[in-house]
Structure 1
């Protein structure tokens, strides 16, 4: 216990017992309040924390963790089974990681970050959840590891995943309705006159596969042509792959739907290099609405995932699961953010 120099009613406050006396509660209640336990009502918890801050009283963190059998650490892991050369520096990962870090640190947790390349034994997640080094685990993306995550979720409760929800699954997920997002993107371009669509993205991962499924649904309903070009997300391959896709489909394509904003930005750059004007010759819609999306030239139309809200929902659900409380999955509704890459001049909207 660190010493404090505060006084209350003429008596120094140095210990949890002193805080309990002043707050009019038990020492156990003070200990639980300072640990952030949901067993203490928010008003009392905030009052006790305020008293502790004012008087410089801090519990010995190591002793507290030993007593509670908690580490104060949350593991954050990014599985890359389908795209092994993708990096944590990917703009989407960095945006979500930043939002998660803010939420976790404000909740009193430290973060242990890892990038997992799943092996043939499928034990990458078992090693993390069974290490004893974390109080809970956040998985960013399911990649092609849905079955592994499901298996671990049978016996490991404090885990929340950013990803796609399947009816009846065991693991808790926070994510966007990806099929709806893909459909919104396609319907938007079709309404603006697009008749030959190109979808750019590798569909080995569940989320992108669902985005393509939504695009296909809209294309079938409008009876228009759709081509899919698998595209890897590694920095070393993305530009070359986009070049190959545009070379193969240079003539007929007038609408591109990218599986991510990063892909859409690379497509913008390649189209500019080829002298194909956006949106006059080709319209583009990305996916994610990263901060960079509004800064491209022209600004990128995209499907927005509410990453900040999603990060809050992930941390809230994880805290509840750590406390053995119920926490269900959350499927967020995506939103079309219209900018300049899909506002084609002189084209009348196509009726459905």
Structure 2
């Protein structure tokens, strides 16, 4: 840096500011210093710069999988949301560190934070880790979670209107004349529990008693949904519709129905939740609940950066809407 300063005829502090794009240095001077630096092969040592500033300029996106260790980062929902988060973070000239935590151990998030690998944390999905996230959030402000808003929540969350979306999905099926509606999803998870509540509320409003046999567990891997629907068919359980708690689960249900010779939507109507790109390309094209993941990612990152500046931010619940395609009639 001293050599660049000598060649440019300025102080080393001016070189430092110019290379960091400081507005304190006139644009013409900045460009001249940057030109001299480039010609002489000068490269900023980012590690040293970050140590001096006590900032890593890195955001960690953590995925706890206490509920389902087999779910992969290649899951279509994860890929969609991560892509939007990465776009928002990189636009602020920060890097993204992705951390998948299968079978989380007690204290995992607090230990992660104390490692100082990142300036802020976005946790995608509460899984069964609500108390663990609460514990970390009580002493660490730059933490935002994608998920449901829960009672006695110490952390900031961003998520969709899961109850309202589920009600809309079931109302769509009821309007099509369907009465025996299966719910497929892992109800132990906070977001899916809210979708089950919406399912139950829509049935109650329509005067249809809840049949526990029609509430079937299914994880976010499509194979469990396929097995659950095949089991219903083999046992002779009567149903004429399925509300799946995710699009991936809905696709597993479609496979099971088609393999059993049932038509969609003729024999069974199906509605998913997410509106991922794969819903448009399913056969038949999938009617589903659209949650705006791009808007959700923007909110997560905005809230996180505000919290990195010391600001308390509220939680947010984003609206959803039904996208009608071909799997309901």
Q: Same fold (TM over 0.5)?
A: yes
Superposition map of 1:97-112 within 5 A: 97-112=82-97
What is the RMSD computed on CA atoms of the aligned residues?
A: 3.0
TM-superposed CA distance for 1:237, in Å, is 3.7
Residues of 2 paired with 1:197 and 1:50: CA distance?
69
TM-superposed CA distance for 1:239, in Å, is 2.7
Q: Which moved more, 1:230-239 or 1:130-139?
A: 230-239
Residues of 1 paired with 2:13 and 2:313: CA distance?
32
| Alignment of 1:335 onto 2:317 | no
Aligned to 2:300, which of 300, 314, 317?
314
Superposition map of 1:122-271 within 5 A: 122-166=106-150, 168-226=152-210, 227-234=214-221, 237-248=224-235, 250=237, 252-271=238-257
- Sort the Cα spacing of 1:170 and 1:54 in 2 relative to 1 into closer, same or farther, 3 A: farther
Aligned to 1:92, which of 77, 95, 101?
77
| Alignment of 1:83 onto 2:68 | yes
1:113 aligns with: 98
- Sort the Cα spacing of 1:261 and 1:16 in 2 relative to 1 into closer, same or farther, 3 A: farther
| 2:274/2:291 contact within 8 Å kept | yes
Residues of 2 paired with 1:148 and 1:214: CA distance?
27
- Sort the Cα spacing of 1:192 and 1:126 in 2 relative to 1 into closer, same or farther, 3 A: same
Calculate the TM-score normalised by the size of structure 1: 0.81
TM-superposed CA distance for 1:53, in Å, is 10
Residues of 1 paired with 2:225 and 2:130: CA distance?
25
TM-superposed CA distance for 1:50, in Å, is 12
Name the count of aligned residue pairs.
318
| 2:265/2:327 contact within 8 Å kept | yes
Aligned partner of residue 52 in structure 2, secondary structure:
helix
Q: Structure 2: 5+ residue runs without aligned partners? A: 38-42
1:17 aligns with: 14
Aligned partner of residue 328 in structure 1, secondary structure:
coil
TM-superposed CA distance for 1:151, in Å, is 1.2
Residues of 1 paired with 2:67 and 2:265: CA distance?
32
| 1:301/1:341 contact within 8 Å kept | yes
Residues of 1 paired with 2:54 and 2:79: CA distance?
31
Calculate the TM-score normalised by the size of structure 2: 0.86
Residues of 2 paired with 1:324 and 1:31: CA distance?
27
| 1:16/1:31 contact within 8 Å kept | no
Residues of 2 paired with 1:246 and 1:189: CA distance?
20
TM-superposed CA distance for 1:284, in Å, is 0.8
